[in-house]
Amino acid sequence: MGVQDRDWYREELRRKEKLHYNPKAFRRSRSSTTSETSRPRRPLGPVSKILIACIAAICLAVFVSQWRRQEATSRGETERLERAQKLRLQAAEQERAASLEQQARRDRVQQEEAARLRSIAAQREARSSTIDEENRRKELWAKFYKPDPTCEGVSSMDCTNAYIRARRRFDELYSKSRI
């Protein structure tokens, strides 16, 4: 607060002190309020009473109608909010159901894919075991059957019959797993 502010406050204080308020000087006496020219008060007449009653009834009717309108509006607003809440709940339920259905669909696809991959792996394993079995069988046949040195490169009936007999004997032993 500067010097100018201080001076202003002091001047304002002096000015107010000069305007000192004296309540007795401004008071009016009771005798001066009622003059001879003023009329005495009369009680209200029946028309005035009816007029005041009508105005009060109209005000009451307006108040009641506004109150009813406000109640209907608030009731309607409450019902609208309840419907909106119900719709939001239904939408959330539908969204949950859709997400569950989508998850079930994804799970089903994953299971089908896993089954397909297992099937492919089983087929590969079966092919591999079949090939391994064939290779083993060929190796065992090569060890089992040694053609007669006279039959090499020759296609005679005796060599063919010897081959067939050896093959039958090999198949019989192989099926019994004696080899």
Confidence of residue 151 (pLDDT cuts 50, 70, 90): confident
Whether residue 69 lies inside any domain: the answer is no
Lookup result for tokens 């108040």: 63
Structural domain range at position 174: 145-179
Max distance between CA atoms of the chain, in angstroms, equals 173
The predicted-structure confidence for 3-53, as pLDDT tens digits, reads as follows 788 888 888 888 888 776 655 655 555 555 555 556 667 777 888 889 999
174: how many CB neighbours lie within 10 A of its CB?
A: 15
Confidence of residue 59 (pLDDT cuts 50, 70, 90): very high
Whether residue 104 lies inside any domain: the answer is no
Exposure letters 103-129 (e unless 16+ CB within 10 A, then b)? eeeeeeeeeeeeeeeeeeeeeeeeeee
Whether residue 28 lies inside any domain: the answer is no
Whether residue 65 lies inside any domain: the answer is no
Whether residue 27 lies inside any domain: the answer is no
Q: Work out how many domains the chain is built from and give that number.
A: 1
What's CA 132's distance to the chain center, in Å?
Answer: 56
Whether residue 45 lies inside any domain: the answer is no
Supply the pLDDT for residue 47: 87
Whether residue 167 lies inside any domain: the answer is yes
Whether residue 158 lies inside any domain: the answer is yes
Which of 40-44, 73-77, 82-86, 137-141 is the most confident on average?
A: 82-86
